[in-house]
């Protein structure tokens, strides 16, 4: 996953974004499979929003492919009380913004796209660095103790 230093950088970017766009009610960066990387979402359950973002992302990707519109870039949902906007953030993350109904949607897109690009750079760089770093050697479990390591994902 993304190291703590990069996660801090992502959170800093989310907080700067909320400072630049006062009508944002929350900002969340998540992996494309729905795991929270960082969030600034007061009063909102970040894990639930990240999981819903992953579900919406899956449908959006299929929709852009089925209609020949190319790769997914962004999704905008408007509810009675505001907007939810999701933007790509590199190759393995997304940025989801929660905005009040009075927001200037053009400004939302401008700032969301820029922040998504910066977050994507942070996350992609961290993941590339992690792939180049050799894994830590595993120690043998003590006699009689079960091995508690999780199975590794195939690469």
Rounded Cα gap, residues 48 and 89, in angstroms:
19
- % of the chain at pLDDT higher than 90: 75
> Is 152 a member of any domain?
no
> Is 23 a member of any domain?
yes
> Is 53 a member of any domain?
yes
Helix and strand tally (H, E) in the chain? 3, 5
Query: In this predicted structure, what is the pLDDT of residue 7?
Result: 83
DSSP 3-state of 60: helix
Report, as an integer, the average pLDDT of 39-64. Answer: 96
Question: How many domains would you assign to the chain?
Answer: 1
> Is 96 a member of any domain?
yes
CATH number at residue 55: 3.30.450.30
- % of the chain at pLDDT higher than 70: 82
Query: In this predicted structure, what is the pLDDT of residue 137?
Result: 64
Report, as an integer, the average pLDDT of 6-24. Answer: 93
> Is 149 a member of any domain?
no
**Band (150; pLDDT cuts 50, 70, 90):** very low
Query: In this predicted structure, what is the pLDDT of residue 143?
Result: 53
**Band (110; pLDDT cuts 50, 70, 90):** very high
Predicted confidence (pLDDT) at residue 126 exceeds the cutoff of 90: no
> Is 44 a member of any domain?
yes
By residue range, what is the domain housing residue 90? 4-130
> Is 139 a member of any domain?
no
Predicted confidence (pLDDT) at residue 149 exceeds the cutoff of 50: no
Instruction: Please indicate, yes or no, whether the overall pTM of this predicted structure exceeds 0.85.
Output: no
> Is 70 a member of any domain?
yes
**Band (128; pLDDT cuts 50, 70, 90):** confident
The burial class, CB within 10 Å (0-12 / 13-18 / 19+), for 112 is buried
More reliable by pLDDT, 10 or 136: 10
Residues 61-74 have pLDDT tens digits of 999 999 999 999 99
């Amino acid at each position: 996953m993304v190291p703590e230093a990069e996660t801090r950088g992502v959170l800093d970017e989310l907080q700067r974004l909320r400072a630049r766009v006062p009508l944002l009610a929350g900002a969340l960066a998540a992996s494309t499979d729905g795991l929270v990387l960082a969030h600034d979402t007061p009063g909102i359950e970040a894990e639930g929003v990240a999981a819903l973002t992953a579900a919406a992302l899956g449908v959006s990707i299929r929709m852009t492919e089925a209609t020949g519109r190319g790769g997914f870039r962004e999704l905008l949902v408007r509810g009675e009380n505001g907007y939810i906007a999701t933007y790509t953030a590199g190759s393995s993350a997304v940025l989801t913004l929660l905005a009040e109904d009075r927001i200037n949607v053009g400004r939302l897109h401008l700032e969301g796209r820029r922040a998504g690009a910066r977050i994507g750079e942070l996350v992609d760089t961290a993941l590339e660095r992690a792939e180049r770093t050799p894994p830590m050697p595993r120690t043998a479990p003590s006699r009689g103790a079960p091995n508690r390591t999780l199975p590794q994902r195939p690469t």
